[in-house]
Amino acid sequence: MRRQTIGLMILLSVSSTGLIGAEKEVALDFRLPDVRTGRPVSLADFVEKKIVVVAFLGTACPVNNAYMPTLLRLARQYEAKGVQFVGINANPGEEPSEVAAHANKHGLPLPVLKDSQGKVADQYEARRVPEVFVLDQKRSIAYRGRIDDQFGIDYRRAKPTSHELVDAIEAILDGQSVPVARTEVAGCLITRRKPAETSSGVTYTKQVSRILQKHCQECHRPGQIGPFSLLTYEQAANWSAMIREVVEEKRMPPWFADPNIGHFKNDRSLPKEDREALLAWIDAGCPEGDPRDLPEAVAWPEGWRIGTPDVVFEMRQAYPVPAEAPRGGVPYKYFVIDTNFDEDMWVERAEARPGAPEVVHHIIAFVVPPLGSNDPTPVGPPLLPPLVANAKKATVLCGTAPGDMPTILPPGYAKRVPKKAKIVLQMHYTPNGKAQSDRSKIGLIFAKEPPRYHVHTVPIMNGQFAIPPGASNHRVESWGPTDAHFQLTGFPTDVHIVSFMPHMHLRGKDFFIEAVFPDGKRQALLNVPRYNFNWQNAYVLAEPLFLPKGSMLHCIAHFDNSANNPNNPDPTRTVRWGDQTWQEMMIGWTDFAVERETKAKD
C-alpha cells in the first residue's frame, strides 16, 4: 500500500508484526542540515541503530522548553543501548542560528536539524512541539505523541504519571509490542503558511498590527514574559497557528475576571470584534496589506516595564540554585538590602525582576522600618520570619509571581519607604533540572510630590484549612483585615480599595471577593471563576473604591484536590497551608489607600 505526500516524501504502510491486524507507517529517508555543523544528516546515517527517536522541537514554546532537561537525560541514558535521538525544527521564522543557540543552551547531545520548508514535518504529519516519533529497526513508526504527561498547557506536574516515550523505547529493546502507539501532544502548533487571500478585508498593516499593539505587545516583546515577540508582520504570521488557537479558546490575552462583576483598569480581555478580526486574518492566510497603513511602532520602555527606575536595589551576591530540589523543596530564602535613605521616600511604581526567571517562582519585597521606629503596627499579620529584625512591622512593597505585572499606582497614591528602612526580598526558588545562579533586583520610581493617599498591602488570608483527599470543590473562606494575632478587626479607618491579587497554588479553582459594610450590606468586587496558577493576575480597579471605617473583606475560594486536576501533585493527601507549591495557600492580597493627614492641598 502506498500513499502520496508532499514533494518526494512518502509514507509506506506495511503489515505490522507488533500489532496484530494493524498497519504501521514507515518513514522514508530525509536529508536536512545540522544547525550547528552545517553538514547534512539523513535517517540512513543511523542504519546501525536499533531505534531512532525523531523529536520535533521549537525554541520559544514553554512546553517544549520545559521538556529539554528530560530530552537531554533520555538521549544520554539510551545512547549506549543503540538509541539515536534526532531533533528537527520546522517552525517558520526560527533561523538556524537561533535553533543552534537553543540547542547549545540546553546542552542537547544530538543532531538538531532545520526543516526550512516543513517537508519532513508534513511527511510525519507532526503538528506540535515537542512531538516525538519512535522508529524501530525497520524504521516503522512504533510510537508517536508526547514524551510523557508532566507538562502541558496550564499545568506542570512535579513528576510525570505516565512515560509513553520511555515505555515505547523499552518495549522495542525488549522485543515487545509498544503498549501505547499514539498519544495527543500538549504544546505549541507548528505553523503551516498558506497563500494569502488578496481580497481579504482584514490585513496586518491596517487592523492586526493595531490589535497586537493594544493587547499583546506588552508581554510579547524582547525581555518580557511572552515566549516570542509579536512586533512585526513576519513574527505574527509565523506564529499564526498558535495565535489562532489561544485566541479562539480565549486563553490569550490572560484575563480571568468575571466581566459581570467590577471594572478594572488593566483589563486584558480581547473585545469580540478584535477576536473576530484576528481569526479572519489568519484564516485568509495572513495578508500583509499596504505598508503605508502601518501605525507608528509603540515606544515600549527598554528592560523595565515601569520605565527607567529612579533607583535599583540588587541582592548583595548571587544565590546558587541547585539543579534538583532537596526533599521538602528549597526553603524560602531572605536577602536584606540597606536603602540608606536619608528621608522617607514615596514609591509610585515598583518592579521586582528575577535574575534567573526560570527558577524564581516568586519574589516579595518587604519594607522593614528601623528598630525604634514610631510607625504604627500595619494592618494584618506579619509575614516575615522572626529572624528578620523588626519583622512584625514589615509591610509589602512589591512582588512578582507567574503572570503578575509590576506595581503601578494611580497619581496621588504611593507606598512609603521610611528613612533608613531595609528591604527584605523573600525568594521562592523552584529548581528545574539545571543549576543556575540568581541575583534578583527591584526598581523603584518615586512620586514627584507628596501623595494624597498612603497605599498599604494586606493579606486577607486563611492558614487553618485542611483539604480532604479527592475533594474536587473544597470551600475555604477568609475575612479581614486582621491584626497581628489574626483577630478580625475590619478597616480601622476609611479606606479606598485599589486592587486585588488572589493567590493559591496548584489546587486553586476559583476565587471570589466581596466587601461587607458596617450596616451588613455586601458588594461583590471580584470573581475569578477559573483560577490559573500560571497567571497570578492583579486586578486594578478602574476607580479606587471607598469603604467606610469598620468595613471588611470576605474571600471565598474553592480547591480541586481530585485526580481530575492535572496540576494536582497527589490527590490522595490531605493538603494544608505551606510554602511549597505542592502545599496550598489562600490569600486575597489587597491594596488599599488611606488619606494622609498632611495631604497636598488642591
Reported as a single tens digit per residue, the pLDDT across 414-473 is 999 999 999 999 999 999 878 999 999 999 999 999 999 999 999 999 999 999 999 999
pLDDT in tens, 86-119: 999 999 999 999 999 999 999 999 999 999 999 9
Query: Do 57 and 183 belong to one domain?
Result: yes
The whole-number average pLDDT for the span 583-589 is: 97
Q: The domain spanning residue 589 has which CATH number?
A: 2.60.120.230
Residue 19 lies in a domain: yes
- Distance spanning both ends of the chain, measured CA to CA: 85
Q: Is 309 domain-assigned? A: yes
Print the domain residue range for 397. Answer: 302-451
Binned at pLDDT 50, 70 and 90, residue 4 comes out as very low
The reply to whether 194 falls in a domain is no
Q: State the pLDDT at residue 376.
A: 63
Residue 375 pLDDT grade (very low, low, confident, very high; cuts 50, 70, 90): low
H-only helix segments in 225-376: 233-238, 240-248, 272-283
On whether both 218 and 177 belong to a single domain, the answer is: no
**Whole-number pLDDT of residue 15:** 29
Q: Specify whether 40 is located in the same domain as 164.
A: yes
DSSP-assigned letters across all residues of 417-456: E-TT-EEEEEEEE---SS-EEE--EEEEEE-SS--SEEEE
Q: Residue 600: which pLDDT band, with cuts at 50, 70 and 90?
A: very low
Residue 197 resides in a domain: no
Q: Is 123 helix (H, G, I), strand (E, B) or coil?
A: helix
In whole angstroms, give the CA distance from residue 116 to residue 95. 9
CATH number of the structural domain spanning residue 437? 2.60.120
What lies within 8 Å, CB to CB, of 196 at 6+ separation is 284, 285, 286, 287, 288
Is 331 found in the same domain as 259? no
Please name every residue paired with 421 in a beta bridge, in sequence order, or none if there are none: none
Q: Is residue 429 part of a domain?
A: yes
Same-domain pairing of 319 and 386:
yes
Residue 24 in any domain: the answer is: yes
Query: Among 293, 312, 343, where does a domain finish?
Result: 293
Residue 47 maps to which CATH number?
3.40.30.10
Q: Cell 526560527: give the residue.
A: 94
How many independent structural domains does the chain possess?
4
Are residues 429 and 336 both part of a single domain?
A: yes
Q: Are 145 and 131 in contact (CB under 8 A)?
A: yes
Mean pLDDT of 336-365: 95
pLDDT one-digit tens code per residue, 208-255: 999 999 999 988 999 888 899 999 999 999 999 999 999 999 999 999
The residue from 404, 425, 451 where one domain ends is: 451
The residue-averaged pLDDT of 290-314 equals 92
**Within a domain: 104:** yes
* 269, 175: one domain: no
Based on the domain organization, do 98 and 78 belong to the same domain? yes
Among the listed residues 362, 372, 413, the one whose alpha carbon sits nearest the alpha carbon of residue 393:
372
User: 38 with 130, same domain?
Assistant: yes
Contacts of residue 61, Cβ cutoff 8 Å, sequence gap at least 6: 129, 130, 187, 188, 227
Domain-terminating residue out of 451, 469, 485: 451
Q: Which residue has the cell 498591602?
A: 457
Is 366 in the same domain as 425? yes
Tell me if 287 sits within 8 A of 199, measured CB to CB: no
* 378 part of a folded domain: yes
Question: Which whole number is the average pLDDT over 523-546?
Answer: 95
* Residues 53 and 79 grouped into a single domain: yes
Whether 478 and 567 map to the same domain: the answer is yes
